[in-house]
Amino acid sequence: MIHRRQFLRIAAAGCGTMLIAPRLVFANVETDRRFVFIIQRGAADGLDTVVPYADPGYAALRRDFAVDPAAALRLDGTFALHPSLAELGKLYGKGQALFVQAVASPYRDRSHFDGQNVLETGGSNPYQLKDGWLNRLVSLMPRSHDEAIAFAPTVPLALRGKADVTSYAPSALPPAPDDLLMRVGALYESDPQLHPLWSAAMEARGLADDAQARQDPASIGKTAAGFLARDDGPRIAMIETSGWDTHSGQMFRLANQLKALDTLIASLRDNLGDAWAKTTVLVATEFGRTAAVNGTGGTDHGTASSAMVLGGAVKGGRILADWPGLAQGSLYEGRDLAPTLDLDALIAAVAAESLGLDTDLAMRTLFPGRPFNKALHGLVGA
Amino acid sequence: MTTAASQAERLTVAMNRFGLGAKPGDAIPTDAERWLIDQFDRYEPTPPAFERALPGADIADQFSEGRMALRGGDATAKMAARKELRQNGQALYRDEVQMRAHSALDTDTPFVERLVHFWSNHFAVSADKLPVTVLAGACEREAIRPNVLGNFEDMLLAVVRHPAMQLFLDQIRSVGPNSPMAQNSGERRNRRKPGINENLAREIMELHTLGVRTGYTQADVTQFALALTGWNVRGLGAGANAERPGGFAYRPRLHEPGQRDILGKSYADTGEEQAGAVLHDLATHDATAAHIATKLARHFIADEPPAATIRTLAAAYTSSGGDLKAVYAALVAMPEAWAAQPVKFKSPWEWTISSLRGLGFERPDMPIAPLLNQLGQPVWRPGSPAGYDDAAASWAAPDALVRRVEAAQRIVGKAPVELDARQLAPELLPGTLSDLTRREIGRAESGPTALALLLVSPDFQRR
């Protein structure tokens, strides 16, 4: 009966904004430029984010679940932005947002965990590399006086590696007195695993005194901006978002997810103040979703998705895509949006241009053994 | 690699690595290996800690009845009803977590109890949406606990058929595109075309049985998803009747007719049994044996377990036809499982439970669910069907260490004042307590500080 089915739909509604639960990680390097990587864990659907409304395949594949082109924000003659992304639409209008379509990492199977491993390590295959490309990016820059900071109880793979990272997350537990902290320090003095972790934690405490114990997207954006805006603060950040795996009820869930992302980025921009002009934010996911809607109002694991490049120095107001189209014959393995742009090369180009590094060197270091796409230049201004 | 452990060291390994942590005043086993194996005979699937627990079917029923109240009334009334429902769901979840912790504190079969936690994470659901939040505890109680000493295939079947897993991985709305129900709705209107959802099929192959990159293809996943159509939850999901929501239901009207070809084998259309036959073959596949062996070895022997260890465990799995007791016995019999040096950094759950056991708590006056949230490992909420990582890199992080110190302070604040850390430390870590930890505990400014230092010491944070 209909009321029984209602059970699930409302249930999904109740937790949409909670699912994103963003987590932050920071690293310090000597520069006045800022680079923020936002990962969308769970395979975000690019087709409902940067909507190819003019491609007749879109409405045919998504049927009743398609984003209404009348409600979406038109970007150009082919693409429109999901209506939840109003603030990103404003950035696009100011030339501060570049949207990328049909982009994918080298990973071609459909496991979240392997896909995230490839995206974060920068390897060609899962588990080929042990450390993360963001950590190797940190190693390309001169280090500043402070250690890096992770705003999460644990360090995500992209930032794991040789360069030091540390973590901070607001805690609801009563703080431990200095005496106890000092004694713990003595206890860990000769432990090769715990000693460096503890030293890093003690350094982060000084920086994070007034960070708010809030986990909503606006507060996370504000907290991140608070750190990045400081003269002596970190310059590289990673923000982890989750909840993008929309196998069912995608219309509602994705609207919530994108709204939270929009709020997070707007809060970052507003609270960065003048530093926004020197900031680049890159948003990407491990892979996309099936082109067609499935039997449960959702989409399953796919291949190519969309990505975003945002910031005061971004040469935006345009779409970067070699659009493969959504005709049946154009789909990858007959089911997914085909990848026509390499996400690795995009990341290398954006990171290098944002931080004033040589793009070839960045590509070799971040994504060893992967070919660079020379056409990707002029994405971010000096 | 392995140093011959003394009797005291073997006790530490048995109680802390295999068990859930030593308790003060525990009867000291003389034969550590025997003590582990004997637990198989004493284990109770439903110990007294769970006497208040409701059957999953009742929970499903209660929460869908509650939802019906949302349908009537104006917007304000609806919002209030929704809020109440969410709060009731959270309260039920916290109660389930509390019962799980109580059981872990009470148990005199801590090795088997640890294995329950292990399998619950292997077959992870994530309490991110309300139906899973309220049913996650029931899934562990009803699908994992009764099968932890049985055959792997029985546990697999029980989990896949449990409403928590079906709801979590979207199985309940998956409909065969050529099933009677799809044909019917196609005639009625041209709008919503029912179809399959391949989420459950994929995660069974990737996470529960074969393991990722073991040779199955996208076509195998799709074929398996078609075979699974019709597997559903009573009173919920596509094509449900107005029956009382609850346990497993097979709905022939959703089932995709026809033969399925999976991993090079054909499965005749036997209705409900078609997916059962596939699950049987997956459970007994060599890749599954290797996958299960790897995860068990990672949990008990090393974050990166040696290949020979994995081979031995996989052989025990295969030769016993997936009899889990035989696999555990092979594990306990391995010399490398008894290395005296700790091999694992405890997860937040392991650390919390061992801390509470170590200080002698039976019914701690402290909610466990929020404590685990603060420590970064919400119970039954790993956020993904892969469950929580079982390696130090995921748990040993700067901020995580500070959180543990804060939590230790909180736990110690509720402990009996007469507890003396100097006596307790060698009792909890026989033969393995380091001189440094012993010295720092002795130097602490107060009794509670000494206890907190014991709980966060490198010795106690590892097993």
Please spell the DSSP secondary structure of A265-315, one letter per residue.
Answer: HHHHHHHHGGGGGGEEEEEEES--BBSS--TTSS--B-S-EEEEEESTTB-
Tokens, residue A44: 């975000």
Whether B93 has a pLDDT exceeding 90, the answer reads yes
**For the residues B371-385, what does the mean pLDDT come to?**
92
CB atoms B375 and A126 under 8 Å:
no
Pick from A135-139, B25-29, B256-260 the range whose average pLDDT is largest: B256-260
Residues with Cβ < 8 Å from A341, sequence gap 6 or more? Answer: A100, A101, A102, A103, A104, A304, A320, A321, A322, A373
Contact A277, A230 (CB under 8 A): no
Distance from B126 to chain A by nearest Cα, in Å?
A: 11
Contact yes or no for B176/B256 (Cβ under 8 A):
yes
With bands split at pLDDT 50, 70 and 90, how would you rate the model's confidence at A135? confident
Chain A nearest C-alpha distance from B168 (Å): 10
Q: Residue B463 above 80 pLDDT?
A: yes
Residue A179, chain B, CB below 8 Å: the answer is yes
A192 and B CB contact within 8 Å: no
Q: Closest CB to B399: pick one of A4, A7, A167.
A: A167
Q: Which two tokens stand for residue B139?
A: 């899934």
pLDDT band at A153 (very low <50, low <70, confident <90, very high): very low
Question: Using CB atoms, which residue from A168, A174, A243 is nearest to B409?
Answer: A174
CA distance A377 to B38: 67
Q: Is the pLDDT of residue B108 over 80?
A: yes
Using the beta-carbon criterion (under 8 Å), do B405 and A204 form an inter-chain contact? no
Instruction: State the SS3 of B430-453.
Output: CCCCCHHHHHHHHHCCCHHHHHHH
Q: Is B42 exposed, middle or buried (0-12, 13-18, 19+ CB in 10 A)?
A: exposed
Token digits for B166? Answer: 């079906």
pLDDT digits 0-9 by tens, B283-342: 999 999 999 999 999 999 999 999 999 999 999 999 999 999 999 999 999 999 999 999
Choose, out of B130, B165, B170, the residue to mutate when testing the contact with A (most A CBs < 10 Å): B170
Nearest CA to B134 out of B155, B162, B157, B154 is that of: B162
In B, which residues are within 8 Å of A188 by CB distance?
458
CA distance A261 to A285: 13
Residues 86-115 of A with CB under 8 A from B: 109-114
ipTM value = 0.89
| Gyration radius from chain B CA atoms | 24
Contacts of B335 (CB under 8 A, 6+ apart): B2
Q: Number of helices and strands (H, E) in chain B? A: 23, 4
A108-122, B170-184, B300-314: range with highest mean pLDDT: B300-314
Tell me the pLDDT tens digit for each residue of B328-360: 999 999 999 999 999 999 999 999 999 999 999
Q: Which of A166, A171, A173 sits opposite B398 (nearest CB)?
A: A166
Q: How confident is the model at residue A1 (pLDDT cuts 50, 70, 90)?
A: very low
**B364 pLDDT more than 60:** yes
* Range in A184-188, A227-231, B177-181, B406-410 with the lowest mean pLDDT: A227-231
CATH 3.40.720 fits domain A2-170+208-366: yes
Rounded to whole angstroms, how far apart are CA atoms A148 and A136? 13
Name, in order, each residue with C-beta under 8 angstroms of A120's C-beta and a sequence gap of 6 or more. A39, A132, A133, A134, A156, A157, A158
Which residues on chain B are in Cβ contact (under 8 Å) with A63?
A: 191-193
Asked if B456's CB is within 8 angstroms of A174's CB, the reply is no
Q: What is the pLDDT of residue A7?
A: 30
Q: Which of A3, A8, A193, A203 to mutate to test the interface with B (most CBs of B within 10 A)?
A: A8
Sequence-distant contacts of B263-269: CB under 8 A, at least 24 apart: B263/B215, B263/B216, B263/B220, B267/B227
Residue B439 predicted with pLDDT over 60: yes
Residues in A 274-293 with any Cβ partner in B closer than 8 A: none
Distance of CA B34 to the CA centre of its chain: 25
- Least confidently predicted of A34-38, A77-81, A212-216, B26-30: A212-216
A294 interfacial to chain B (CB closer than 8 Å): yes
Of residues A4, A126, A242, nearest to B240 (C-beta)? A4
Q: Which of B87, B93, B129, B395 would you mutate first to test chain A, the one with the most A CBs within 10 A? A: B129
Q: Does A22 touch chain B (CB under 8 A)?
A: no
B90: exposed, middle or buried (Cβ count in 10 Å: 0-12, 13-18, 19+): middle
Q: Which residue has the higher pLDDT, A193 or A160?
A: A193
Residue owning tokens 């709008």? B191
Asked whether the beta carbons of A330 and A58 are under 8 A apart, the reply is: no
Q: Which residue of B has its CA nearest to A167?
A: B399
A156 to chain B: closest CA residue: B394
**Which CB contacts under 8 angstroms, 24+ apart, belong to B184-188?**
none
Are B386 and A113 in contact (CB < 8 Å)?
yes
Quote the CA–CA distance of A160 and A45 in Å, as a whole number: 27
B277 vs B184: which has the higher pLDDT: B277
Instruction: Give burial (CB, 10 Å; 0-12/13-18/19+) of A18.
Output: middle
Yes or no: say if A255 and A49 are a contact pair by the CB < 8 Å rule: no
Q: Which tokens hold the place of B422?
A: 């100097």
Q: Please determine, for residue B116, whether its predicted confidence score (pLDDT) is greater than 80.
A: yes
Q: Does residue A174 belong to the interface with chain B, where contact is any CB pair within 8 Å? A: yes
Instruction: Give the gap in angstroms from C-alpha B390 to the nearest C-alpha of chain A.
Output: 13
Show residues of chain A in contact with B452, CB under 8 Å. 180
CB A134 within 8 A of CB A238: yes
Q: Please check whether residue B214 is in contact with residue B240, taking contact to mean a CB–CB distance below 8 angstroms.
A: no
Q: Which residues of B touch A12 (CB under 8 A)?
A: 129
The CA distance from B128 to the nearest CA of chain A, in Å, is: 7
Tell me if chain B has a CB within 8 Å of the CB of A208: no
Q: DSSP string spanning B225-269?
A: HHHHTTEEETTSSTT--SSPP-SEEE-GGGPPPS-EEETTEEE--
pLDDT of residue B191: 55
Res. A224: pLDDT tops 80: yes
Taking the C-alpha atoms of residue A146 and residue A228, their distance in angstroms, rounded to an integer, is 13
Interface contacts A/B by beta carbons within 8 Å: 220
Cβ–Cβ gap B196/A197 under 8 Å: no
Tens-place pLDDT, residues A248-284: 889 988 999 999 999 999 999 999 999 999 999 999 9
Query: Are B386 and A63 inside 8 Å of each other by CB?
Result: no
Cα dihedral sign, B57-B63-B64-B69:
positive
- In A, residues 298-327, which contact B (CB 8 Å cutoff)? 298, 300-301
In Å, how far from its chain's centre is CA A324? 24
The tokens describing B163, both together, are 């409403």
pTM of the model: 0.77
Q: CA dist A247 to A121, A191, B116, B362, Å? A: 26, 45, 29, 42
Of the candidates B405, B402, B410, B400, the residue with the CA atom closest to the CA atom of residue B377: B400
Among the ranges given (A20-24, B133-137, B225-229), the one the predictor scored with the smallest mean pLDDT: A20-24
- Say yes or no to pLDDT of A190 above 70: yes
Query: Rounded distance, CA B75 to CA B455, Å?
Result: 50
Cα-Cα end-to-end distance for chain B: 17
B-chain residues near A19 (CB < 8 A): 128
CA-based nearest residue in chain B for residue A196: B398
B152 versus A182: the higher-pLDDT residue is: B152
- What are the residue ranges of helices labelled H in chain A? 2-19, 56-62, 86-93, 112-121, 133-139, 178-188, 194-207, 217-229, 250-272, 343-355, 359-366
Amino acid at the residue B458: P
Q: Are A235 and A29 in contact (CB under 8 A)?
A: yes
Q: Please name which of B167, B154, B174, B287 lies closest in space to residue B225, comparing C-alpha atoms.
A: B174
Q: Test B401 with A172 for CB contact under 8 angstroms.
A: no
The structure tokens listed for B248 are 């497993």
Mutating which of A147, A178, A187 best tests the B interface, going by the most B Cβ atoms within 10 A?
A187
Contact A247 B169 (CB under 8 A): yes
- Our CA-based measurement puts residue B374 at a distance from the nearest CA of chain A, in whole angstroms, of 7
CB-CB: which of A64, A173, A248 is closest to B191? A64
Computed from CA positions of residues B69, B74, B77, B81, in that sequence, does the dihedral angle turn out positive or negative? positive
B391-414 mean pLDDT: 90
Res. B25 pLDDT band, cuts 50 70 90: confident
Local confidence band at A3 (pLDDT 50, 70, 90 cut-offs): very low
User: What's the Cα-to-Cα distance from A269 to each of A18, A24, A379, B297, rounded to whole Å?
Assistant: 22, 16, 19, 47
Residue pair A150/A36 in contact by the 8 Å Cβ criterion: no
- On chain A, the residues whose CB falls within 8 A of the CB of B204 are none
The per-residue pLDDT for range A27-71, each reduced to its tens digit, is: 777 788 999 999 998 899 999 999 999 999 999 999 999 999 999
pLDDT for the residue B185: 77
Residue of B nearest to A113 (CA): B386
Instruction: Sheet with A50-51: list strands edge to edge.
Output: A50-51, A80-81, A73-74
Q: Does A234 contact B at CB distance below 8 Å?
A: no
CB contact under 8 A, B396 and A193: yes
Taking CB atoms and an 8 Å cutoff, what residues of chain A touch B70? 6, 10
Percent of chain A with pLDDT over 70: 84
Among B197, B386, B407, select the one facing A296 at the smallest CB separation: B197
Distance CA A187, CA A29 (A): 31
Q: What mean pLDDT value characterizes chain B?
A: 92
More confident residue, B414 or B206: B206
Contact B149, B38 (CB under 8 A): no
Burial of residue A190 (CB within 10 Å: 0-12, 13-18, 19+) is exposed
Q: Which of B169, B376, B457 sits opposite A154 (nearest CB)?
A: B376
Between A183 and A154, residue with greater pLDDT? A183
**Chain B contact set for A111 (CB, 8 A):** 202, 206, 212-213
How much of chain B exceeds pLDDT 70, in percent? 96
- Burial (CB count within 10 angstroms: exposed 0-12, middle 13-18, buried 19+), residue B67: buried
Position of tokens 């997810």?
Answer: A257
> Is residue B406 within a helix (H) or strand (E), and if so which, with residue range?
helix B398-412
At A4 the pLDDT is 29
Which one is predicted more confidently, A150 or A267? A267
Please give the residue of chain B at the shortest CA–CA distance from A130: B393
What local confidence, expressed as pLDDT, does residue A15 receive?
29
Asked if A6 reaches chain B (Cβ–Cβ under 8 Å), the answer is yes
